[in-house]
Amino acid sequence: MAEEQTELEERIIIKDQHTKEIDLVNRDPKRINEDVVKVDFEDVIAEPVGTYSFDGVWKTSYTTFTVSKYWCYRLLSAILGIPLAVVWGFLFALISFCHIWAVVPCIKSYLIEIQCVSRIYSLCIHTFCDPLFEALSKICSNIRVALRKEI
């Protein structure tokens, strides 16, 4: 009985990871579209002082812009929202798959191989270059430079 309860809880937890509750009020909690999509009537159409249209035209233009933007967005999201969600879900699944199964193993393999190569390279440098540079430093150690200012 206890095992069945634990198994049921595990299934519920696994299901909740994929079907978690979403916030229908705050739909951009991380504010990724805050500066891009906020376009109001005043951001697009503005009349400078001295070139005003009739008040009725201005009010009607405002209402037309706001309502058409609202309904066009809702219509487009109703028609294309779910297909694009499938496309984006597939794309990000593909990116995750490639990263998990190809990129990270290649990087790890490269780091293992390069560590071996770096040891051999370091051994060669210490064997052949260190004595050469020590000899050059002993040759050049007695060089003295004197600067004089001539007037």
Cβ-contact 47, 58 below 8 angstroms = yes
Q: Is the residue at 16 inside a domain?
A: no
Average pLDDT in the chain = 87
Calculate mean pLDDT across residues 89-96: 97
Instruction: Look up the domain containing 96 and give its range.
Output: 35-142
- The reported pLDDT for the residue numbered 24 is 80
CA Rg, the chain, in Å? 35
Structure tokens at 17: 């990871």
In angstroms, the Cα distances linking 67 to 19, 56, 80, 91 are 33, 16, 20, 33
Q: Kindly report the pTM of this predicted structure.
A: 0.56
Cβ-contact 45, 65 below 8 angstroms = yes
- Among residues of the chain, what percentage have pLDDT more than 90? 56
Instruction: Report which of residues 142 and 130 the model is more confident about.
Output: 130
- The reported pLDDT for the residue numbered 8 is 59
Instruction: Report which of residues 101 and 148 the model is more confident about.
Output: 101
Task: Give residue 94's identity as a one-letter amino acid code.
Answer: L
Structure tokens at 7: 């198994």
Structure tokens at 148: 């004089």
Q: Is the residue at 56 inside a domain?
A: yes
Q: In whole angstroms, what is the distance from residue 126 CA to residue 35 CA? A: 56
Q: Is the residue at 80 inside a domain?
A: yes
Task: Give residue 146's identity as a one-letter amino acid code.
Answer: A
Structural domain count, the chain: 1
- The reported pLDDT for the residue numbered 17 is 65
Q: Is the residue at 118 inside a domain?
A: yes
- The reported pLDDT for the residue numbered 37 is 72
